[in-house]
Amino acid sequence: MPAPGENLRINPERLWNSIHEMAEIGPGVAGGNNRQTLTDDDARGRALFQKWCEAAGMSMGLDQMGTMFARREGTEPGLDPVYVGSHLDTQPTGGRYDGVLGVLGGLEVIRTLNDLGIRTRRPIVVTNWTNEEGTRFAPAMMASGVFAGVLALEDIYKHADKDGLTVGDELRRIGWMGEEKVGARKMHAYYELHIEQGPILEDEGIEIGVVTHGQGLKWLQVTLTGKESHTGSTPMPKRRNASLGMARVIELVHEVAMDYQPDAVGAVGHVQVYPNSRNIIVGKAVFTIDIRSPNKDVLDEMDARIRAGIETVAEGLDIGFEVEQVGHFDPVTFDKALVGNVRAAAEKLGYSHRDIVSGAGHDACWINRVAPSAMIMCPCVDGLSHNEAETISKEWAAAGTDVLFHAVLETAEIVG
């Protein structure tokens, strides 16, 4: 005879339908999404989420960073709530599930509690963090970083996109700047469900990732300054070529990351060259280095080696250089008790599972600084993400959300 709540499951069809209804907002060009933060599409996605939450009997809070907090009351409203959530903003060529699964999986938990008439001691809050991706406005995990007290609101409001539009202005323009002080809320615990965005779970045929740690990250924005001149008539020895410098630094980042295998990673995904004319030597190159490792010492060593290498490249090409750290968090160890709840839930529900370190950054990585946090991962096809072809199965989505449901029930405590 299963114990009370033993075999409770969420509604996979309802979850799947909501994910794909959300995916219709801010469509990409190849079946994925381009619902970048603080755009009109982001606003439409927020409005749809708010509508669904209110239909599920929840009240919506909104803080000064536009983060949304949908609350289902507990039988003891004075207790610190259990928070779940993730993000609805996407990459410019993003998938339908990155972030969205965690927000709508949280909503599905509430919808299932309503269906079953289950009350919990603690309130439960479903969260949509503003600008997790950091693609339009750096850094990533922006709102959760302000919430955790590691980023300053007034400074973040001034961060601009490539067109010079700022976070503060855009948040105001789309009408989603709340009054609530960022970080004022007290959380009893935070759970985040997310697709793995890597190949491990699928390769091993495993349904649930029990996330024990998150790897550390550094984003270094580099500006190389050479001299614009004619690509045809400027003799090679007289050139001060910033794009050649960028090419050498990109190769350097790869080589340094390869020195710390199997865990470290490094790449350059954002590049801008000026004046970007076919027959002018690039005078200025601006690009962002993304390096990551689960080991803090390795991350710091990679950072130091790359900075030294940039100086050598610049000297050799007679070009100027500036390096600005525009994103950073150290490797994260999630809360052992909550991680245990995730593992126990997968066990109880009969889902295959394994411990895993998150390769991607998540809002939970910051929230873990202010509240006990843990993550649940489901596989994604070919480990592909940050690509419009990102795909998961309904079964994987349901398994992850079932585990989220039972972990939340354990922490929020069923009443009656």
What residues make contact with ligand HGY under the rule CB under 6 A? 132-134, 140, 360-361
Decide which of ligand HGY, Mn ion, none touches 99; Cβ closer than 5 to 8 Å per partner kind.
Mn ion
Q: How far is the CB of 132 from ligand HGY (least distance, A)?
A: 6
Binding residue count for Mn ion, defined by CB under 5 A? 2
Contact residue for Mn ion among 45, 85, 99, 145 (CB under 5 A): 99
Q: How far apart are CA 41 and CA 39, in angstroms?
A: 5
Task: Tell me if residue 209 falls in helix, strand or coil.
Answer: strand
Decide which of ligand HGY, Mn ion, none touches 361; Cβ closer than 5 to 8 Å per partner kind.
ligand HGY
Question: Which tokens sit at 285?
Answer: 């190159």
> Residues, the chain, total?
416
Indicate the residue among 390 and 410 with the shorter CB distance to ligand HGY: 390
Q: How far apart are CA 53 and CA 18, in angstroms?
A: 12
For 281-321, give the DSSP string: --SEEEEEEEEEES-HHHHHHHHHHHHHHHHHHHHHHT-EE
196 lines the binding site for Mn ion (CB under 5 A): no
Decide which of ligand HGY, Mn ion, none touches 306; Cβ closer than 5 to 8 Å per partner kind.
none
Q: Are 392 and 379 in contact (CB under 8 A)?
A: yes
**Among 17-25, 31-39, 97-105, 150-158, the segment contacting Mn ion (CB under 5 A):** 97-105
Q: How far is the CB of 221 from ligand HGY (least distance, A)?
A: 15
Return the axis-axis angle of helices 296-317 and 242-258, rounded to nearest 10°. Answer: 150
Q: Are 38 and 87 in contact (CB under 8 A)?
A: no
Decide which of Mn ion, ligand HGY, none touches 134; Cβ closer than 5 to 8 Å per partner kind.
ligand HGY
Decide which of ligand HGY, Mn ion, none touches 226; Cβ closer than 5 to 8 Å per partner kind.
none
For 10-51, give the DSSP string: --HHHHHHHHHHHTTSSB-SSSSB---TTSHHHHHHHHHHHH
Q: Are 57 and 123 in contact (CB under 8 A)?
A: no
Indicate the residue among 222 and 365 with the shorter CB distance to ligand HGY: 365
For 103-147, give the DSSP string: HHHHHHHHHHHHHHT-EESS-EEEEE-S-SS-SSSSSSSHHHHHH
Return the axis-axis angle of helices 100-116 and 394-412, rounded to nearest 10°. Answer: 60
Q: How far is the CB of 416 from Mn ion (least distance, A)?
A: 36
192 lines the binding site for Mn ion (CB under 5 A): no
Decide which of ligand HGY, Mn ion, none touches 106; Cβ closer than 5 to 8 Å per partner kind.
none
380, 383, 389, 395 alpha-carbon torsion, rounded to 10°: -10
Indicate the residue among 74 and 331 with the shorter CB distance to Mn ion: 331
Indicate the residue among 7 and 325 with the shorter CB distance to ligand HGY: 325
Q: How far is the CB of 211 from Mn ion (least distance, A)?
A: 13
Q: How far is the CB of 361 from ligand HGY (least distance, A)?
A: 4
Decide which of ligand HGY, Mn ion, none touches 63; Cβ closer than 5 to 8 Å per partner kind.
none
**Among 95-103, 171-179, 205-213, 267-275, the segment contacting Mn ion (CB under 5 A):** 95-103
Q: How far apart are CA 18 and CA 390, in angstroms?
A: 17
Contacts of residue 51, Cβ cutoff 8 Å, sequence gap at least 6:
none
Which residue(s) pair with 85 in the sheet?
Answer: 127
Indicate the residue among 195 and 282 with the shorter CB distance to ligand HGY: 195
Indicate the residue among 58 and 193 with the shorter CB distance to ligand HGY: 193
Q: How far is the CB of 126 from ligand HGY (least distance, A)?
A: 20
310-311-317 Cα angle (round to 5): 90
With CA atoms as reference, report the closest residue to 323 among 337, 342, 305.
305
Q: How far is the CB of 140 from ligand HGY (least distance, A)?
A: 4
Q: How far is the CB of 108 from ligand HGY (least distance, A)?
A: 22
Question: Which tokens sit at 198?
Answer: 């890597």
Q: How far is the CB of 359 from ligand HGY (least distance, A)?
A: 8
410 lines the binding site for Mn ion (CB under 5 A): no
Q: How far is the CB of 241 from ligand HGY (least distance, A)?
A: 30
Contact residue for Mn ion among 42, 63, 89, 98 (CB under 5 A): 98
Binding site for Mn ion (CB under 5 A): 98-99
